[in-house]
Amino acid sequence: MARPLTVCGTAAAEGIPALHCTCGTCRRAWELGGREMRTRAAYNLGDDVRIDFGPDSHLHMRAVGRDYSRLEHLLVTHSHDDHWFPKDLDYRRPGFCVLPDDAPPLTVYGNPHVMETARASLKDPVASRIELREIRAFETFEAGGSLTVTTVRAEHAGDEEAVNFILREPGRTVLIAHDTGYWEEESWAFVAGIEIDVALIDSTYGRYDQNGGHMGAPWVVKFAGRLRELGCLGDASGVIATHFSHNGHANHGELVDIYSSHGIQVAYDGMILE
């Protein structure tokens, strides 16, 4: 059985409402509340796996109602600070927290940029029971007994190798593809034929026909269509747009309107895929 996947955060770097911002989209988000309120993108898979560890990780802990002491695998997409805030990981150190005696070690997987910043931030990885494992694009590895992770090169962050993740568990395969534009051909060729049950796709540019590092709605539709053409998505597969910026100028209801005719769902903070 697949573990529940909690979509903890669904915003791009500034959050929604964005820090300091008074644009129309942010003002409307303040008015409407609920699903308009978005924290920086991250996911929990059960209690033991997390994808990204950005500046809203503390808020996610409180929202989910569980601390991170049972976390065993932290998969980091890239080092941009909305996805990776290693200073907060250093609070796993004795003196800042009390780990239970039976707390499992935590393995952090990330590209060389993520590893470098982890080494700089973690004062005592051994006492913090943190192990670092460098990953690159187009790898497949086991993370614990029942999760197989495949990395796909994202079209993002030119100076480092940002990755998207395919998470395969008994009963479900999920693609997490935020912080990417429409993939380069090598990524499409790599995923061809991999069957995906749920694909979460970057929709940073909201309503705009914009691609490059991130995507707007027309490109999310193209992205899902290409996955379908390549045999990755079948009739029963789900597609969910996520990682939204206020600069995409679409509130939740407008995003639902844009995406519903394409059979694409719109993520919100706290969404749980059972």
47 and 71 in contact (C-beta within 8 Å)? yes
Strands 264-266 and 42-45, bridge-based pairing: unpaired
Which C-beta is closer to Zn ion: that of 179 or that of 269?
A: 179
243 and 203 in contact (C-beta within 8 Å)? yes
- Give the shortest CB-123-to-Zn ion separation in angstroms: 26
Interacting stretch for Zn ion, rule CB under 5 A, among 20-28, 54-62, 86-94, 133-141? 20-28
Q: Tell me the C-alpha to C-alpha distance, in Å, between residue 22 and each of 32, 39, 41, 135, 251.
A: 15, 17, 21, 39, 14
Cα gap 74→260, rounded to integer Å: 32
The neighbouring-strand residues paired with 140 are: 150
Which of 38, 73, 246, 252 binds Zn ion (CB under 5 A)? It is 246
21 lies in the binding site for Zn ion (CB under 5 A): yes
23 lies in the binding site for Zn ion (CB under 5 A): yes
* Angle, CA 106 vertex, CA 240 and CA 88 arms, to 5°: 75
Which C-beta is closer to Zn ion: that of 72 or that of 254?
A: 254
18 lies in the binding site for Zn ion (CB under 5 A): yes
271 lies in the binding site for Zn ion (CB under 5 A): no
Which of 82, 155, 161, 197 binds Zn ion (CB under 5 A)? It is 82
Which C-beta is closer to Zn ion: that of 2 or that of 42?
A: 42
Positive or negative torsion for Cα 234, 182, 80, 122: positive
Cα gap 2→198, rounded to integer Å: 12
Which of 7, 8, 26, 122 binds Zn ion (CB under 5 A)? It is 26
Q: Tokens standing for 9?
A: 């955060």
Interface map 161-200 toward Zn ion (x if CB under 5 A): ------------------x---------------------
Q: Please report, as residue ranges, which positions from 61 to 80 form the binding site for Zn ion (by CB under 5 A).
A: 80
Which C-beta is closer to Zn ion: that of 73 or that of 246?
A: 246
Q: Which residues bind Zn ion (CB under 5 A)?
A: 18, 21, 23, 26, 80, 82, 179, 246
